Every structure is written in C-alpha cells, then in structure tokens.
A and B are shown apart, each in its own frame.
Chain A
Amino acid sequence: MAMAIRVSLLLLLTLFQPIFSLYEDQVGLMDWHQQYIGKVKHAVFHTQKATRKRVVVSTEENVIASLDLRHGEIFWRHVLGSNDAVDGIDIALGKYVITLSSGGSILRAWNLPDGHLVWESFLQGSKTSKSSLSLPTNLKVDKDNLILVFGKGSLHAVSSIDGEVVWKKDFSDESIEVQQVIRPSDSEVIYAVGSVGSSQFEAYAINARNGELLKKNGAAFPGGFSGDMLLVSDDLVVALDATKSNLVTINFHDGIKFQQTHLSNFVGDSFGTAVLLPLKLQEMFAVEINGFVLFIRATGKGNLEVVDKVNNAAVVSDPLLLSEGQTAFALIHYGDGKIHLRVKLVLDWNNDLLKESVALDHQRGFIQRVFINSYIRTDRSNGFRALVVMEDHSLLLLQQGAIVWSREDGLASIVDVATSELPVEKDGVSVAKVEENLFEWLKGHLLKLKGTLMLASPEDVAAIQGMRLKNSEKSKMTRDHNGFRKLIVVLTRAGKLFALHTGDGRVVWSLLLPSLRNSACKHPTGLSIYQWQVPHHHALDENPSVLIVGRCGQSSDAPGVLSFVDTYTGKEISSSSLTHSIIQVIPLQLTDSTEQRLHLLIDVNRHAYLYPRTPEAISIFQHEFSNIYWYSVDADKGIIKGYALKSNSGEVLDEYSFDSRDLWSVVFPSDSEKIIATAARKLNEVVHTQAKIIADHDIMYKYISKNLLFVATVAPKASGEIGTATPEESWLVVYLIDTITGRILHRVTHHGSQGPVHAVFSENWVIYHYFNLRAHRYEMSVIEIYDESRAANKDVWKLVLGKHNLTSPISSYSRTEVVTKSQSYFFTHSVKAISVTSTAKGITSKQLLIGTIADQVLAVDKRFLDPRRSFNPTQAEKEEGIIPLTDSLPIIPQSYVTHALRVEGLRGMVAVPAKLESTTLVFVYGVDLFYTRIAPSRTYDSLTEDFNYALLLITIVALVAAICVTWVLSEKKDLRDKWR
C-alpha cells in the first residue's frame, strides 16, 4: 500500500513539473520557420572567378542577403534596423560587399563568402541630401581602391580596405544641391554637378586623390529645372526645365553650355507630364511620357534623337559591361501570361542579343525591376541571366528561357493575418492506400520500437527523425480532430494573399488580388483581413471566406475596395469598389443565415455602412441597432471619442448607410499628455470562469467587459527616444476607459517612466511594458480589474434563494464599482511586440508571448505577473499557485517558443486557439515566418505525439501473458494444496 502511495506521489510530481521546452529531437515536429528577404531593390552579381555563384541583394525590408544563384537559397543575410534603409550596394576588391545606408551616413563592408562585418564607417554630414555610392575602377591611392560616397551633403572618399575616410569635401556651406557625382574613366578628376536654387547649374571639379577643389563652374539657366538631373555621358547631363516641356542638355566640361529641345519634337504637340527615368544607360536616356517610354540618344554636342518608343510597362535594367566599349541592357515586359525579355547592346539598338519569352505558372503581376548578368556559353557566346522582381515582390531568376528558381519574398512584408479551417474529411478511403500504409505503419512502429529500446543504429535514428518530420498526417488538406491543421491567410503589402498550411508552412494557394489592381485604382494598398464567413453548424456546405479591405490611394479619405475570397479555393468570389472611404471596420457579433458576419464600415465623415448589403442583414441589424457603439482614437489631437448610430433621418444615401452621433469624448491636455499606445480585448476571446477563488476561500468577480480600452499617454517631452528626457519631466499615465460610456474607470501615473509602451489586454487584466528612467530598466506592470458590484453574491443563501444578480445582464450605464490590483516588475528585454495565448474554452492558464529585441518569442506565465504575489506567501496562497514576489521577471531560456531560431524583423504575433483546449497555435511574422503550437499548461488533455502506442500494446500483451502464466501457476498450486 505504501508502495502504491509512493508511486502515485511520484507520478503527481512528474505531472506538475513545469516543462515549457522542447527536446532537441522535437524541433521541426510541430514548428516551421521560413526565411525571406523582402522586395529586392538593388542586386549585384558575383559570378566571375567564383566557385559558388551568387547574387548580393538589398531589399525594402532593409535586408542585405547573398543568394545562391543556382537555387535561390540564402547564403547569408543581415537585417538592418527598421530606420537603416539601404541606399546602395556594390562589391569591392572582389571580396567585400559594400553597403551604404541610413541616408548615406553608414558605410559597411561585409565579407562576401560568409557575410561577416569587416568594417563600418560613420560618415558625418550636416544636412540630408541624395546619397549615392560608387566604386570607380582603378582609382587607386597607395594600392587602395577608393569608394566614393555622397551623402549628407558631403563627398567622401573611403578606403575599401579598412573604411578610413581618405578625404572629404563638404558641400553644405555651398548652397548647391548635388545631383550627380561623376568620375570619367581613367581620369583624376571627379565632377560633382547640381543646381543652386531652381535655375543655377554648377559643376565642381575635384581632385580624386586628395579632394582638393580644382575648378568651379556655374551658369544660370533662365528656364529653371524641375526634378532630378540625369547623367548621360561623362560630360553631359540632361534635365527637364521648370515647365516640364523642354529637355535641357548641359555640357559642363569646358564651360557650361545649355541646349534646349522641346518635347513636342518627339511626341507631337499634346503630351502629358514627362518624367526622366533614372537609368544609367550610356549616351542614352529614357523619358516616360503619354504612357510610353522614349529612348533618346544624345549624339555629339547635345543633339537628341529618338531611338525607340516602347510601352511603359517595359522595365529597363542597368547597363552591363560585356567587353571593352560594349554595354548591354535588358528590356523586359509582361504580357499574355509571359515574360518577354530582350537584351540589346546600347550602341546597336536594332539587334537583340537575346530574345526569349518565359511562361509564368501563376499570377505575379507586372515586372517592377530587372537586373542582368552575363556568362560565357559553351559555344563562347554571351549568355544572359536576369533577376526579375515582380509586382507581388517575388523574385525570379530567368536563364535559357526558363525560370531557374523563384522566391515568394512578398511574405516578408505581411500586413495582416487571419486563419481559416480546412475542409472536413470526406469518408471512404481506397483499400490500396490502407494496405500500402499498413506495411509502412508496421515498419515505422518497428523502427520506433527499436529507437525506444535503444537498439537503433544511427541510420535508423535518422530514419525515425525523418519519418516524424515528414509525417504526412500533419500536412493533410483536411480538418483534424484536434484543430491543429488550419490555413493561415496572410495579406502582404504587395496586395497578395497567401494561404499557408499550418502543418508544414507550404503555400496552399496565393492570389494577387485583382480588385486591388483595378486600373481605376491608383496606388492600391491592402489594409486588413476579416473573417467574413466561418460556416459551422447549419451552413457547413458553404466554403469559408475572408474579407479583404483595401484602399485606392495613400490618404485616409481615398475610396475603399472590398474583396471576398474563398479560403478553400483561393478564388475571389466577388469584389466591390466603394464610393466611400474606410477608416474603421467593425466586425459585429451578428451573422446572417449563411453565417456571413455583419460588418460596419466607417468613413472619414463618420458615416456607417452595413455589409453585406442584403435585406436579411438589415433586418438582423435593426434588432441591435441601439446597442451598437464604437470609438475612435485620435492620437495626434489627443482625443478619444465615442459614437452611436443615429436612426435614419435627413440626408440618407440608402438604407444600408447610417449617420453617427457623438456620445462622449475624453480630451487629454495637449501640454502634458500624448497618446502613445492603446490596447483592447480581442473580440473573439473566451473567458471560462467569471470568478476567481482566492486563497482564503473568498471570491473575487472578474470585471469582464469587451468594451474596455487601455490607453497610455506620456509627457510630450518624453515621447522621443529613451534618454532624451529626464525622469522629472517624464511620466506615463495609463487609463482604463469604458468605450460605451466613455467613463474613466481607472487612471494611474508612473512618474519617471516613458514609452515605448506595448500592451496586451485579456480577460480582466492588462499588461504593459515601458521604460523606467529612475531605475534605468524596463518594467512590466499588470492591472487586474475586479467587479465590486457583484461582490455581494458570495452568500450561499442568496444563491439558493435566487436573490443574486449574477444572471442579470450587465449594463455599462450602471455605476461601475471596480477595484484594481496592480504590481510592477522589472523586465530585462526591450520588446517589439506583445501578445497572449488564447485557447478554445479559456480554461488553460495564459502565457504572455513577448517578441524580444533579439527577434525571439519568449513565453512568460501569467502567474509571474500576478498582482497578488507577495514577498512571503502564506501556505494557502502557495497552494493556489502564487509565486513569491521577486523584483524582476525571470527569463527562463527553455521557455523561448522560437527555441534556437530567430524571426528576423519580428513585427507581430498571432495566437489562435486549436480545438484541443490545452493548445494554442502561434504564428509569428516579420521578415521571417515562424509557426508553432504551444501548450501553456502542457497537454493535459492528450497524449503527446511521440507517445509510443506500440509499446503500450506490447506491455498490455505482456501483462495479459503474465496474468495467464500466474493463473496457471496458481491453479497448479491450488491443485497441489488440494492433493496435500
């Protein structure tokens, strides 16, 4: 008996041991990680004399990466900070990648093979200006190749060996705005040309060896300039005049000579706005006008002649030096589902070096950029490969008329995320499949058995690992019992939708939204995704769909676009271009008979529009008409306002649009407070228990309201970066505001603290992260809100006699009596994003998901952020699970959800409940994507995936056998006894 107790005690101990972490062999079983780089903006090939051919790219996500030219894989990659945009890249000395970033102020050299930082130079300058990077060949000073950098109004010559600034010429004293820096080949003179004011052209000649000013020429052009100047050849610059109707060529070598050519000479009398395309073609330039691109050659002394006129969908590459005096460039355009690529010599327009068409397998939109590289074919002729950036930000490598590889780099810039269920599994599986699987199944279990009994050879271990990773079960296209298999539908900045399978992260379908690419829609931007239709129960035969809200244009008053996409097929069901703008989308708690969710769209004039526009929707909506409220936060003005709908009267557009009325406002004093963060509860969050039983068997009722808003304000002086304000002049005020009535329920000031504030609101608590200037540390605070008005319901007799108010509906208009409990803890990391796990029924305890500055995700138990933690918890409190008070939150290395991986450029985390109560699915996105599933209280409701059923069976069989044997033995013994 004693033995049995001991065994059960041991069992209990193993059950309550907190284990958050994975074992090494479990990596990749339920998580996946994908690396991206973003939309490429510069590319430099490194193919000659290299065993591994590669292309070095920089992207709009501020990533520098070296890609394998054969397969498109990443050799190495660096994600620069979000405010460290790359201005230019190049390769120096054949071994360093040189990058210029941060508006021309940071120059770095990376080792080409492995991507290690070799040197870094901070270039000083006083004003912002255009920035450019050039690596002139054979500009040598003491065997050292110089790098010419123009940035921050200064010209720097930097040594490519160690990044020392050899000389510097500051233009900030002169009023010149430098447009181009030129070094004619093999010349010792560098020319910096630009304009002073709008009509004065100036050219500076500078000694390339020491930066001395040799000569300065200037001349006024009466017509004035507009836009950028373009370098055509070593001594010729072209610009548009102020009216944008004349081309001005400027020869600056020996004195300055202007020559004007009216654009009507090329295109006739009527033309629209002309734009000079920033190409670097030799002795040629391109003007975009009337929807066409004119290629114009400058001959001799500024005479211009049109060479060709092509559709403006064509994209032109930078010129590529083939051999002495021969430069080639690529002209590429998309049409009829094919990419048409032509490579020409600059000097010989009429002949194509290469002309090929490549069919695209699916919609990627238009071509945005092209970079070309040449190689020597087996027959000693020139071959070309082209790196193409498409409209959906994907990257393709074309060679020999085929797509060698493609990368879906649009996934590096996810804007919004939604999830969708997979189809329900159909019954009826073929026998052949089962038979085949049976053998596999047996073999697999034999291997697993070997593994468990430690008889497996290393090959077997590898096979077991491979089997677990490849587990076809998890990547099936059907719904599973536990709800682990789902589709993650993501919207990227390029306006493309991707559906990723949670099992292995593959792209199930993708769709470049046609409605956003409508010709009527200029500068379309995708904004957000909403669950439009989530069929369950009575509408199971419908496919689920999502609503994508977009906008035609950058400003908030631009008209909106709605698109409805079926998540099973990835096809657009319908779309509509709206006449009104969209600044807010409110998914209502109402659904119609086909389970379409009702949405209220708010425009800039605070009109509300109901979608879907069906009579059924309006009749459902009318029932709840008077109970619909919303709010807006105007962070610039420091005003939060609440609204309700006004019944239709006066100027009504149609029956689906409504006027709004102002209900309340909270005005923050502009001299002392500035809104920096808000947080509200997720609309679909489930709370299991409304009450909390505390240690002394007392009950506290949680104040659970979906209409609570957390607002954090800081002193305007302290709204900058940490260190710009003293503790005395910085404070952080946090508010809890009821969004129905605008009542401030709680308000507390943290003196000497400042932002950035990251907050998460869940159940009845809010947790926020900020910086404490006095303690020089980051802090996390928790506020828990409890309802006092229901505290009187503790009496059992009242409950028995029904004299309680637990079942009466709670109204925001009742006077709220809330008590708050709060506590602050130090936290080591600065935080990029913060989120919380959510489960199907809300029973499982919660974990905070913290996206750290190192691009990892840390899971911290909510228990650590309990405001009731005390220095010396009583026995009862300990039993309840209260941890003794510490001043800082522990960071347990094993509780990193991302284990050894980094989600570079982390921007957001989404936690989605699985059907299994214990489990949350976590999707983390940034430049990289990461998915895993976590169980904050461990998987108490299921056996783990690696649970060995076969061994359990064997054990049972062995036990049965043992029972039989002992039975026989005992029979024999009985017989023997009887014989006695």
Chain B
Amino acid sequence: MGLSLSNPLVFFFFILALFAFFSLAFQSDELLVDDDEFGLEGGIQFQLEHAFGDSDFFTAGTFTARLKTWNHGGQTLTKLRFSRNAFSAEEKEKFSRLLQGDDFYRIRLPSNVLSPPGRDFVVSSVKARCLPRDALDEHIVINTDGVNILGVNYGAPGACPYPRQLKLPSKWSFNSHTILKNTEQAPRAPIFTEDILGGEGGEGETVPPPERSFWAKYWMYLIPLGLIVMNAITQAMNLPEEQAAGQAQQPTAVQRGAPPSAVRRR
C-alpha cells in the first residue's frame, strides 16, 4: 500500500527521483574553470599570520576569496578558501613548548583585505592545548563587513574542557574549517496598525484596579467567616438530616418528645 504508485505524492517523488538519477548519470564534459585559481577579476588573497606565545607574527597560510561587487556598489567576499602552510620543525618545537606551558597560540588577519593590514590587525588567540586531536583541528570564523574584517573567532571545532590536558598531536597537520560570516538583519518590530486598538484593550487587562479590592483588604477576616458559615451550614444540613432520619424511624416519638423537653428547659 505504502509504495503504491496510485498515491499521487509517492508517484511524484518517484518521478523526481528518476530525474535525479538521470541528472546524476549525465556528466558534462565542460571544463570548470575556477576564476580564483587563475587570478581572474575579483580574486583576492590575504595572509593568516600566527605567533607562538608572545613571539612575533609569521605567515601561516593564505586565504583566497572572490570579491563580489553588488549593483548598489557594496562589495562582499565570497568563495573563501584557505591553504595552511605546514609547520616547520622549528614551529613544531615552538608549538610543543606552548602545549607544555598551556600558553596561547595567536593568529591575526588584516582588518581590510584590499589594503592590508588596514587600520590594525584583527587578532585572536586560543590556548594551544585546545587544538590537538589526532591532527590539529582549527575552526576559523571570519566576521566581515564588505572588505573589512571585524573580528575572527579562532579555536577548536569542538569543546575544550577545562582543565586542559596536555596532548601532543599524532599528525602535525591542520584540519582547517573556515567560515565567512556577515551581519544578520534584525527582525522588524511588528506593526499592527489595525490591531492597535485591540492591543490597547489587551494592555487594559493588565492595568490593576485603582483600589485594593474588597478581597485583598479583608481576606483574613472573610476566610474565618466563610469557615464559620460553612461550618454552620454543614451543621444546619446535618440537623435536618438527623431529624429526617429520626422522623423516618420515630416520627411520632420526636413530636411527642419535643414538647416535654421544652417544658423541661423551663
């Protein structure tokens, strides 16, 4: 039943899958040219530099990106790629020393990719012990605004629990994950022009009454009063019940008994 082609939805997906299969099967022989790699228009490069502890910065890798120019004149970076230089022996040793001392591994990027370094470098740092897993894992989020780099979030792609354990990487190569991040648009304030009156009505509900209510003032007296009243009612209800029961059994006796008791009380 479930796979029956009579169900139009399933049929539709089946057709879609068929097309997908065919499109997968088709292989274009067109040569895909990557603009950036051929240094075509809009290609741009900037350096990632690193430092071990408080040392100076050295080139550590190269970012390549495409500069896309929009109709309104704005420019944004797209198609970011990163090639990391392998650690030299000296750098390995320096890095090991950072790991030993739980020190900082620092990186920096220019704050403007067109005229590096721009006003200043954008610096980020991480405790070196956060990076090694099997290899060295790094996660780089570059916050951009057009051709400007505001800040860079640099660190391990996962958790880096404290206290940090000393662990040497088995492979001295970097697994780099890079992300370009631009600003988001804020959600607009909701505008209910037609509902403004209704909204005010809603506000009206929350307006507390100007006077303290009767209950708020006298609840401490009213509750005992209520209890007394309830007590009285239950008593009153019990009485007739008793009487009713008594009447059912000895209707005459009570009637007879009542006048003498009244007499007795006198």
Contacts and interface: CB of A to CB of B under 8 A. Distances in A.
Nearest to B253: A980
A747 B183 contact: yes
Nearest to B190: A887
Interface in B171-222: 181, 183-192, 195-196, 199, 202-203, 206-210, 212-213, 215-216, 219-222
Nearest to A888: B199
B189 A749 contact: no
A461 interface: no
B151 A743 contact: yes
Contacts of B42: none
Contacts of B207: 892, 894
B126 A813 contact: yes
Interface stretch (B77-85, B91-99, B113-121): B113-121
Contact of A884 (B112, B130, B202): B202
A959 B224 contact: yes
Interface residues of B, number: 76
A377 interface: no
Q: Secondary structure at chain B's binding surface: helix, strand, loop or mixed? A: mixed
Given A822-B186, A955-B220, A742 B202 contact: no
Contact of B192 (A672, A809, A886, A951): A886
B162 interface: yes
Contacts of A883: 202, 206
Contacts of A822: 186-187
Nearest to B192: A887
Interface in B134-163: 139, 141, 143, 145-146, 148-151, 153-162
A50 interface: no
A824 B188 contact: yes
Of A673, A747, A750, A779, most B-chain CB atoms within 10 Å: A747
Nearest to B54: A661
Contacts of B119: 637-639, 667, 669-670
Contacts of B111: 667, 669
A826 interface: yes
A199 interface: no
A11 B219 contact: yes
B122 interface: yes
Contacts of B112: 669
Given A17-B208, A667-B119, A811-B159, A742 B183 contact: no
A900 interface: no
B62 interface: no
Contacts of B151: 664-667, 737, 742-744
Nearest to B124: A664
A20 B208 contact: yes
Interface in A943-980: 951-952, 955, 959, 962, 976, 979-980
Contacts of B150: 666-669, 744
B266 interface: no
B76 interface: no
A665 B192 contact: no
Given A748-B185, A811-B161, A892-B206, A3 B153 contact: no
Given A3-B230, A750-B186, A813-B155, A11 B215 contact: yes
A809 B54 contact: no
A58 B119 CA distance: 47
A181 B43 CA distance: 69
A748 B206 contact: no
Contact of A775 (B143, B146, B189): B189
A814 B122 contact: no
A743 B206 contact: no
A662 B123 CA distance: 8
Contacts of B208: 17-21, 892, 894
Contact of A749 (B161, B186, B195): B186
Contacts of A438: none
Contacts of B230: 3-4
Given A750-B186, A884-B202, A980-B257, A673 B130 contact: no
A955 B224 contact: yes
A7 interface: yes
Given A744-B151, A809-B161, A886 B124 contact: no
Contacts of B251: none
A781 interface: yes
Contacts of A824: 186-189
A748 B186 contact: yes
Contact of B158 (A666, A742, A814, A825): A814
A843 B144 CA distance: 40
B175 to A, nearest CB: 14
Contacts of B185: 748-749, 751
Given A749-B186, A890-B206, A673 B145 contact: yes
Contacts of B164: 811, 813
How many A residues are at the interface, by size bracket? Answer: 35 or more
A887 B54 contact: no
B104 A747 contact: no
Interface in A398-456: none
Nearest to B149: A667
Interface in A812-826: 813-815, 822-826
A663 B125 contact: yes
Contacts of A789: 159
Contact of A748 (B162, B184, B195): B184
A17 B190 contact: no
A664 to B, nearest CB: 5
A811 B160 contact: yes
Contacts of A888: 199
A644 interface: yes
Contact of A742 (B124, B162, B209): B124
Interface string A636-680: 011100001010000000000000011111111110110000000
Could you say which of A11, A666, A883 has the most chain B C-beta atoms within 10 Å of its C-beta? A666
A639 B160 CA distance: 27
B261 interface: yes
B54 to A, nearest CB: 6
A23 interface: yes
Contacts of A976: 261
B220 A644 contact: no
Interface in A739-784: 741-744, 747-751, 772, 775, 779, 781
Contacts of B228: 962
A772 B202 contact: no
A749 B184 contact: yes
A51 interface: no
Contacts of A686: none
A14 interface: yes
B223 interface: yes
Contacts of B213: 14, 17
Nearest to B211: A23
A14 B216 contact: yes
A10 interface: yes
A885 B184 contact: no
A828 to B, nearest CB: 12
Interface of A: 3-4, 7, 10-11, 13-14, 17-21, 23, 626, 637-639, 644, 646, 661-670, 672-673, 733-734, 737, 741-744, 747-751, 772, 775, 779, 781, 789, 805, 808-811, 813-815, 822-826, 871, 883-888, 890, 892, 894, 951-952, 955, 959, 962, 976, 979-980
12 contacts: A23-B212, A665-B120, A733-B183, A742-B123, A748-B186, A805-B159, A810-B162, A815-B160, A886-B202, A887-B192, A894-B207, A951-B221
Interface of B: 54, 102, 104, 106, 111-112, 118-127, 130, 139, 141, 143, 145-146, 148-151, 153-162, 164, 181, 183-192, 195-196, 199, 202-203, 206-210, 212-213, 215-216, 219-224, 226, 228-230, 233, 257, 261, 264
The 9 A-B residue pairs whose C-beta atoms are closest, nearest first, are A743-B153, A824-B189, A669-B148, A666-B151, A890-B203, A667-B111, A886-B199, A813-B160, A814-B159
Given A667-B149, A826-B189, 9 more contacts: A626-B102, A661-B54, A663-B106, A814-B161, A815-B155, A822-B186, A824-B186, A884-B202, A887-B191
